[in-house]
Chains A and B, each alone.
Chain A
Amino acid sequence: DQQVKQNSPSLSVQEGRISILNCDYTNSMFDYFLWYKKYPAEGPTFLISISSIKDKNEDGRFTVFLNKSAKHLSLHIVPSQPGDSAVYFCAATKSSGDKLTFGTGTRLAVRP
């Protein structure tokens, strides 16, 4: 049972344009959501997070949007840079718990 889903395995965008990565979840108990970025041969690196009491969180070029009624979140990267090329994982947790449930990832390629 995949509780966190990333339905797009890959995405390609032009440098300078917006990248939008999507994530859906099914468990209504999740109340904290995170995005991680992963380069080959490295562990995932924390990027940005959002609590369910918010619908938007912004950090520089990265913005995460949360739509609780649709159980959907998205990560916007503006402007996209070649160094953003990596696999992006969406993750969810209950703030009362500790383990993260990850999606399957979206591979982003930013073309120069």
Chain B
Amino acid sequence: DTGVSQNPRHKITKRGQNVTFRCDPISEHNRLYWYRQTLGQGPEFLTYFQNEAQLEKSRLLSDRFSAERPKGSFSTLEIQRTEQGDSAMYLCASSRNRGRGYTFGSGTRLTVV
């Protein structure tokens, strides 16, 4: 196990379509995070899980966004009825310890046309 894995790396979709991204964290990490990064900005927190429990959601996470981590291992982030403003890099990260830095994946770049 060499790190956090995200799939797909790139996704182009038409406005109004649904998309789903997957994140596989480092195996011994029980915390998993989703961030979004747009051009010229730093990553912005979306949500995080401790094991399978979703403990916090940002107000950035509209009703069209849903994240799951059903077995406390991998996680999925779904965006329904995509909009052009959803175009961004979606980053997943995982950690073992609270309140410390964590390991990011390479991200999924979403383009909504």
Contacts and interface: CB of A to CB of B under 8 A. Distances in A.
Interface bin, chain A: 20 to 34
A102 interface: yes
Given A93-B99, A104-B40, A41 B45 contact: no
Interface of A: 4, 6, 32, 34, 36, 41-46, 49, 89, 91, 93-105
A83 B10 CA distance: 26
Residue of A6, A91, A97, A98 most packed against chain B (CB within 10 A)? A98
Interface string B23-54: 00000000101000000111111001000000
Given A43-B106, A99-B33, A49 B101 contact: yes
Interface in B94-113: 95, 98-107
3 closest pairs, A vs B, by CB? A102-B42, A43-B104, A95-B99
Contacts of A99: 33, 45, 48, 56, 58
Given A98-B55, A102-B44, A104-B40, A46 B102 contact: yes
B42 A98 contact: no
A42 to B, nearest CB: 5
A102 B43 CA distance: 6
Query: SS class of chain A's interface: helix, strand, loop or mixed?
Result: loop
Interface of B: 4, 31, 33, 40-45, 48, 55-56, 58, 91, 93, 95, 98-107
B46 to A, nearest CB: 9
A89 B43 contact: yes
A94 B98 CA distance: 10
A25 to B, nearest CB: 12
A59 to B, nearest CB: 13
21 contacts: A6-B42, A32-B100, A42-B107, A43-B104, A44-B91, A45-B104, A46-B101, A91-B42, A91-B101, A93-B99, A94-B99, A96-B98, A97-B99, A98-B48, A98-B56, A99-B33, A99-B45, A99-B48, A100-B101, A104-B42, A105-B42
